[in-house]
């Protein structure tokens, strides 16, 4: 009977490791590409049909688009957290880093190109999913 419990526990551990690997791959490789297409692909005039908006109007609207993109990027990342009744007080502390990251990625996207934004986003996610947990594990108890 104990043997069955150990096998079940071992099977659960394997499934958990597999799930963590899938989440890490999705968060590091897939989601940055998806998010960059959603939030920043349109932030270059050459991606817009000139018949839709003139360059003059684009230049007037562009700063608003940058801030809208960064704010929505930060806001969508709130779904990464689970909230209790009092944790809404932490909302600014959770949104501001994502907003700033969104501005940095937007800068890379506009000044360099779309792929630099994706690469930075992947490296950012890699640091939070792989590097930081690894460093936390090194801290002696």
Picking from 126, 133, 140, 132, the residue whose alpha carbon sits closest to that of residue 29 is: 126
Give the SS3 label for residue 31.
helix
pLDDT higher for 42 or 83?
42
Do residues 103 and 82 make contact, with C-beta atoms less than 8 angstroms apart?
A: no
pLDDT beyond 90 at 130: no
Instruction: List b or e across 86-98, with b for residues whose CB sees 16 or more CB atoms inside 10 angstroms.
Output: eeeeeeeebbeeb
Percent of the chain with pLDDT over 70: 84
Looking at residue 1, what is its pLDDT?
A: 45
Do residues 20 and 133 make contact, with C-beta atoms less than 8 angstroms apart?
A: no
Chain-centroid distance of CA 72 in Å reads 12
Give the mean pLDDT of 127-131.
Answer: 82
Looking at residue 18, what is its pLDDT?
A: 66
2 pLDDT band (50/70/90 cuts)? very low
Looking at residue 17, what is its pLDDT?
A: 62
Looking at residue 15, what is its pLDDT?
A: 55
Question: CB count, 10 Å around CB of 57?
Answer: 10
21 pLDDT band (50/70/90 cuts)? confident
Do residues 125 and 32 make contact, with C-beta atoms less than 8 angstroms apart?
A: yes
Give the mean pLDDT of 14-36.
Answer: 83
Q: What is the pLDDT of residues 60-119, one digit of tens each?
A: 999 999 999 999 998 888 887 777 767 677 778 878 888 999 999 999 999 998 999 999
Picking from 32, 9, 28, 40, the residue whose alpha carbon sits closest to that of residue 106 is: 40
Mean pLDDT of the chain: 82
């Amino acid at each position: 009977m104990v043997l069955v419990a150990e096998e079940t526990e071992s099977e659960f551990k394997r499934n958990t490791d597999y799930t963590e690997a899938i989440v890490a791959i999705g968060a590091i490789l897939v989601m940055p590409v998806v998010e960059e297409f959603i939030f920043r692909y349109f932030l270059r005039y050459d991606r817009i049909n000139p018949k839709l908006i003139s360059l003059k109007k684009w230049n007037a609207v562009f700063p608003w688009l940058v801030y809208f993109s960064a704010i929505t990027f930060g806001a969508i990342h709130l779904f990464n957290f689970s909230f209790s009744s009092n944790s809404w007080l932490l909302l600014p502390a959770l949104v501001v880093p994502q907003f700033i990251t969104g501005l940095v990625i937007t800068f890379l996207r506009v000044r360099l190109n779309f792929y630099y934004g994706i690469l930075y986003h992947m490296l950012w996610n890699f640091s939070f999913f792989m590097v930081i947990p690894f460093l936390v594990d090194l801290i002696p108890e």
